[in-house]
Amino acid sequence: MERLEAGAFHHEELLREGTWIVAFVADWCPFCHRFLPQFSALESEKGFRIAAGDITPDDSPLWDDFRIDVVPTIVVFRNGAPVFREDGVLGVGLPSGSLEKARAAALGRTA
């Protein structure tokens, strides 16, 4: 899975064409470590690509650009613009069903 750093984004846009599901994660986050294997399973899906948005450094501009308070957070981008977002919950990680909602959004469906 591709790991994206701040240079892959311009403010709240992804500098990539096509449809992408990006999981914003930090190396120090235990919820991210549990989530990433499930997220990685989407890599074989057709219709979108996946990447991890690395916001490990506390001074990463991505924290502010995307107003991220809790990791992991998932954002679906279509031609650079965000079209879906699911924020993590403090002490919980992502709510149940978040990955399926993101997948459905990436495929242009509702979960």
Instruction: Report the topology of domain 2-106.
Output: Glutaredoxin (3.40.30)
Q: pLDDT by residue for the chain (111 residues), tens digit each?
A: 999 999 999 999 999 999 999 999 999 999 999 999 999 999 999 999 999 999 999 899 999 999 999 999 999 999 999 999 999 999 999 999 999 999 999 999 865
Q: pTM for the full model?
A: 0.94
CA distances from 9 to 6, 49, 82 (A): 6, 16, 11
What's residue 111's pLDDT?
58
Residue 109's pLDDT is: 84
Helices (H), 1-108: 30-40, 62-65, 98-106
